[in-house]
Amino acid sequence: MSADSILTTVRQYLEFDPMEKVTLEPIQRGASGRTIVRVTTEEYEPFIGIHWTDERPDNDFYPPVSHFLEKVGIKVAGILHENLKWRVVLVEDLGDENLLSLKDEPWEVREPYYRSIFQQLDKLYYSRLGRDAEFNPNFDAAMYRWEQEYFCDHLAGDLLNMDASAIRQSPEFRDLAERLGGATKHLVHRDFQSQNFMLVEGDAYWIDFQGMRRGRQEYDLASLIYDPYMDHSKEDREKLLALWEDVSEERPVEKLFQEVAIQRLMQAMGAFGNIIWNREDEWYKPHVPVAAKLLAEVSEGTAYGELLEPFLEKAAAYR
């Protein structure tokens, strides 16, 4: 009944009677478990309707996080209307062009948008939460451990039909989760990848930020630089790190950044396995070997890489 909830909310917001025409065009974007549609009428500019259920608790945080981000100067789609009882929000339409659409463009075309993203990310790091701010629980050791289990369950188990007991039981991965979860100083988007940035008049606007929480700042940076959808070359990854250093006047500690990238890529591969196996969404299939290649590269020469190697070899050949 998601479409009905959106349609009723639209009619209330626009004060339309039942006879006035409203068109809802489905938008397939990501895998956040929400219904997203473009709303068009004869009288008004198009806007976006979003409905969610109680299946994923983090979706309830979309409205308060959106208001916070807008307040601190992060570019997001403005909320036009809220019907929180029905879990519906109406927001500005940012169009259809996202960062992923620039995948095959030269660096000179992509660079201004990455600069826009990094400038906003740097601003977010120094933004303070008010006492009444509503966010998800902190990105702690238990959540990092959950991400590792997500890889074991859905990538290794479901998609590859392999036993991941060696990873589950390894002290190396348990220690990694404990160390990464020991710092929760900054706000983390948690899905900081190319599909979640819409391009509007030379700027990058953030979407799908409902999972934002306090955590380790390097996680978002690694998510963007080791983005399986973009599949950046080693040269472009270095350009991105240099750009971040230019914007923030700092560079992540190499070993820490490597470990966060390993963690994030494991999470991404677990998500791919879950979506492909349980939701039967084949769009994600080509990204499995790309993510496997990136994870093999960043974990090479480490204890994590030795444990991951058999899974990544099979994932690299997945079609």
Region for residue 55 given its phi and psi (left: phi exceeds 0; alpha: psi -120 to 50; beta: otherwise): alpha
Look at residue 44 and give its three-state secondary structure: coil
Neighbouring residues of 129: CB distance < 8 A, sequence distance ≥ 6: 68, 135, 187
Query: pLDDT digit string (tens) for 292-309?
Result: 999 999 999 999 999 999
Common-topology check for domains 2-92 and 99-316: no
For residues 179 and 173, what is the distance between their CA atoms, to the nearest angstrom?
A: 10
The answer to whether 311 and 272 are in contact (CB under 8 A) is no
Quick one: what percent of the chain has pLDDT higher than 70? 97
Q: Which of 172, 144, 158 lies closest to 267, judged by CA?
A: 144
Query: pLDDT digit string (tens) for 77-91?
Result: 999 999 999 999 999
Look at residue 212 and give its three-state secondary structure: coil
Look at residue 257 and give its three-state secondary structure: helix
* Superfamily for domain range 2-92: Phosphorylase Kinase; domain 1 (3.30.200.20)
Determine the longest span between alpha carbons in the chain, in angstroms: 66
Domain boundaries, the chain: 2-92, 99-316
What one-letter code names the amino acid at 270? G
The chain-wide mean pLDDT, for the chain, equals: 95
Task: Print the SS3 string covering 8-43.
Answer: HHHHHHHCCCCCCCCEEEECCCCCCCCEEEEEECCC
Q: Which residue matches tokens 């230019």?
A: 246
Q: What share of the chain is helix, strand, coil (3-state, %, to 5)?
A: 50, 15, 35
Query: pLDDT digit string (tens) for 250-288?
Result: 999 999 999 999 999 999 999 999 999 999 999 999 999
The answer to whether 153 and 311 are in contact (CB under 8 A) is no
Q: Which CATH class is domain 99-316?
A: alpha beta
Indicate if the pLDDT at residue 185 is higher than 70. yes
Q: Give phi and psi for 148, each to the nearest 5.
A: -65, -40
What per-residue confidence (pLDDT) applies to 32? 65
Q: Which long-range contacts (CB under 8 A, 24 or more apart) does 163-167 make?
A: 164/311, 166/307, 167/307, 167/308, 167/311
Query: pLDDT digit string (tens) for 137-167?
Result: 999 999 999 999 999 999 999 999 999 999 9
Alpha helix stretches (DSSP H) within 72-140: 107-125
Which secondary structure element, helix H or strand E, spans residue 146, and what is its range? helix 141-150
The answer to whether 293 and 206 are in contact (CB under 8 A) is no
**H helices then E strands: how many in the chain?**
11, 9
Query: pLDDT digit string (tens) for 212-257?
Result: 999 999 999 999 999 999 999 999 999 999 999 999 999 999 999 9
Indicate if the pLDDT at residue 30 is higher than 60. no
